[in-house]
Amino acid sequence: MNELGRLEDLPQDYRDELASRNLVPLWPNLRAVLPPGVPSRNTRPIHWPYATLRPLLMRAGELTPMEKAERRVLVLANPGHGLENMKASPAIYLGMQLLLPGEWAPSHRHTPNAVRMIVEGRGATTTVGGEKCPMERGDLILTPTGEWHEHEHDGSEPVVWLDVLDLPLIYYAEASYAIEGQRQQPKAGRGDQAYARGGIVPTPYFERGRAAYPMLRYPWAEARAALLDIAASQPDLEAVQVTYVNPESGRDAQNNLGFHALMLRPGQTLRLPARSPAQVFHVIEGGVDAQIVASRFTLAEADTCCAPGYEPVQLANRSATEPAFVFVADESPLHRKLGVYEVRA
């Protein structure tokens, strides 16, 4: 490519005149916004070990009562984007949230889409649009844009989950806001029970109404069983992975982010190709070594790491006898909608 002119090549009086009229010359900045071959990326490979995060989260429970917090969360921030921006990637926000026995995180709704990946504990529920969803380890629970949701804990031990939101994207679009509400009255029926079997859905005219998100809770027991069945029935399949989808449409479970569960066979090393979207990996069961660019992370259960887009990722199961299971969140639905999704060998 030809070398472009620099801003400092222009006379100062001309630059001042442009600035006074809110004008910017493109040519000195063109390579910054359209770099050759590969996009500029601020997302860094980063690892958040749960063993070091958990004590700080529990201390937050001691220091800050729920009425002072509304949502007691430690944000997993990527330093490449600046910690104050609270981003894991350009479109993904991550937070570890704590709910203690007897607590109620009050009802609200907001424009960003959110999911909850349950990390530990029992006895809590999330109520979304009146549907009361149990929270068990490994479950995925949706709180889609605009839906009222609240969290309640009737158990005896702390419950922790990983929040994944498209908050950075919605905030960038200047469309992010929340509204507080009253405690919801749970209604009968649960989507995870109505859509409990693959290929079988409730007959439409017996339904209460076809909701935009007919299934809000994706039990880990079902996803885990599906992965094991796929691995057993297709022993030569390299990547054993399932995607969380809307059971009525077959499309991604939410609008902008994609969610998947990946199984690594005992002793398996899997190379994921370079794709345009950034990715987040959270270990549900087992231990995994992750190689991302020049960074190597040793991931234990409940650990989380992030990978920038356009880079291959290598995952290795450290156990020679037991499978490992990984929750994956990525920006692929957004990239497909924008027409920029790509896979590179």
Cβ neighbors of 146 (< 8 A, separation 6 or more) are 109, 110, 111
pLDDT, residue 164, reads: 98
Q: What is the pLDDT of residues 75-129, one digit of tens each?
A: 999 999 999 999 999 999 999 999 999 999 999 999 999 999 999 999 999 999 9
pLDDT beyond 90 at 63: yes
CA–CA gap between residue 48 and residue 78 (Å, rounded): 10
> DSSP character for 276?
S
Q: How many CA atoms lie within 13 A of 67 on its CB side?
A: 1
Token representation of residue 138: 């490994």
Element (H, E) at 32: helix 30-33
pLDDT, residue 205, reads: 60
Three-state DSSP state, 288: strand
Cβ neighbors of 288 (< 8 A, separation 6 or more) are 264, 281, 299, 315, 316, 317, 318, 324, 326
Structural domains of the chain in order of their starting residue, each with its CATH number: 46-344 (2.60.120.10)
Of the listed ranges 28-32, 279-283, 321-325, the one predicted with least confidence: 28-32
pLDDT, residue 200, reads: 87
pLDDT beyond 90 at 206: no
pLDDT, residue 3, reads: 80
pLDDT, mean of residues 176-187: 94
CA–CA gap between residue 19 and residue 45 (Å, rounded): 37
DSSP string for 141-186: EEE-TT--EEEEE-SSS-EEEEEEE-HHHHHHTT---EEE-PPP--
Q: What does pLDDT average to over the chain? A: 95
pLDDT, mean of residues 26-31: 94
Give which of 282, 268, 265, 283 is closest to 314, Cα–Cα: 268
Q: How confident is the model at residue 4 (pLDDT cuts 50, 70, 90)?
A: confident
Give which of 278, 276, 309, 307 is closest to 291, Cα–Cα: 307
Q: What percent of the chain has pLDDT over 70?
A: 98
Cβ neighbors of 59 (< 8 A, separation 6 or more) are none
The answer to whether the beta carbons of residues 92 and 164 sit under 8 Å apart is: yes
The per-residue b/e assignment along 43-79, b for 16 or more CB within 10 angstroms, e otherwise, is bbbbbbebeebbeebeebbeeeebeebeebbbebbbe
CA distances from 55 to 6, 62, 83, 296 (A): 50, 11, 20, 24
- More reliable by pLDDT, 117 or 205: 117
Taken in order 322, 327, 328, 334, the sign of the CA dihedral is positive
Q: What percent of the chain has pLDDT over 90?
A: 92
Q: What is the pLDDT of residues 127-170, one digit of tens each?
A: 999 999 999 999 999 999 999 999 999 999 999 999 999 999 99
* Beta-strand relationship, 159-165 and 46-48: unpaired
